[in-house]
Amino acid sequence: MTRNGIGIRTASVLSQRVTGQIHVYDGLGKGKSQAALGVVLRSIGLGINTPNNYNRVLLLRFLKGPERDYDEDGAIAALQSGFPHLIDQVRTGRAEFFSSEQVTSFDRQEAARGWDVAKGAIASGLYSVVVLDEINPVLDLGLLDVDEVVRVLKSKPHDLEIIATGRAAPQKLLDISDLHSEMKPHHHESALLQGIDGIEIYTGAGKGKSTSALGKALQAIGRGINHPGSTRVLIMQWLKGGSGYTEDAAIAALQQSYPEVVDHQRCGRDAIVWRNSRQELDYVEAERGWEIAKTAIASGLYKTIILDELNPTVDLELLPVEPIVQALLRKPRDTEVIITGRCQNQPAYFDLATVHSEVYCHKHYANQGVELKRGVDF
């Protein structure tokens, strides 16, 4: 059967793999650490939904010392409080940028401390996912031995998932990775000339678009928890009808504790939508989602709005482009809009983006016939 355009596989129709993979997110574009946070959200959601299964995540953050606050802290702390058996977080390093010429003995000691934690966690069998956030620049700065890191990761337990993030991933790490997504930045002068701010777009064929959006949502939710009344988050998802998405349980848990902070909506059939298999319901559901999103953008009630899979919805011609352009042009300046999804033809609203990361696929285990995994990929 010939398939035209873009189709989004829904969670309920997916089987899943058992073998853990090594993921690497690098590049100069934005979205790397956000992708790691998205995996954290999904893993916690899976653990909430399946308490008898083994799902625990370690979020190990290099170069992000405890002396600095990060937006996602509030949300992670809230999830840790409610589900302490599902997540551990460790931070190392100093929370400031430095070059290889500015490396100190403290930087080396902190990197070594973090790596000791990582080795113990990997060997322990206690975790289903270990996130090594910003380990790539740690290796690039020479703070850890690349050969040792590669050796430990190659000998990881069979079912353990490893997520490595940050700029300048060394080639030896890329060689052993099962997934390599590079975040490539694109710049739009028209957005700068028009004084537009607060529009981020994540597109491309690589893995990490919706995952980055979920990480962005976690940051915004955390900001709202840490500073009550400062922000409200809407997560609007197209082409993802039905059930089976592991992030739902974690978002629902945060909603229950902080109902004033986050709203979550889905639209679409519980089926794959292709250009040559569109149904009337697909148009109705897409328009329903846009009415919710358009109202939210105009209202000023939300400071962060995630429009997940809007790009393929437009690419499938389920929604017209011009109303989206006009809504974004009229949005309040302090409202942040994040748009995700691959598309074959860039719609006009891409020119309004102040952040545009193309998630370029260098390597993906799915292309080798490896199934996706609940709690990581969906």
Going from N- to C-terminal start, the domains of the chain cover: 11-182+362-368, 185-360
Judge whether 11-182+362-368 and 185-360 match in fold.
yes
The CATH number that domain 11-182+362-368 falls under is 3.40.50.300
At the second CATH level, the architecture of 185-360 is 3-Layer(aba) Sandwich (3.40)
φ/ψ of residue 92, rounded to 5: -140, 165
Check: pTM over 0.75? Answer yes or no. yes
Q: Write the pLDDT tens digit of every residue in 74-125.
A: 878 888 888 888 899 999 999 888 998 999 999 999 999 999 999 999 999 9
Contact 175, 145 (CB under 8 A): no
Q: Of 255, 247, 211, nearest to 49 (Cα)? A: 247
Q: Using one digit for the tens of pLDDT, what is the confidence trace for 121-179?
A: 999 999 999 999 999 999 999 999 999 999 999 999 999 999 999 999 999 999 999 99
- For β-strands 262-266 and 336-340, DSSP reports them as unpaired
Strands across the sheet containing 262-266: 87-91, 57-61, 129-133, 161-165, 22-26, 179-186, 355-363, 199-203, 336-340, 304-308, 233-237, 262-266
Residue with structure tokens 């846009």? 290
Q: Name the most confidently modeled range: 94-98, 185-189, 212-216.
A: 185-189
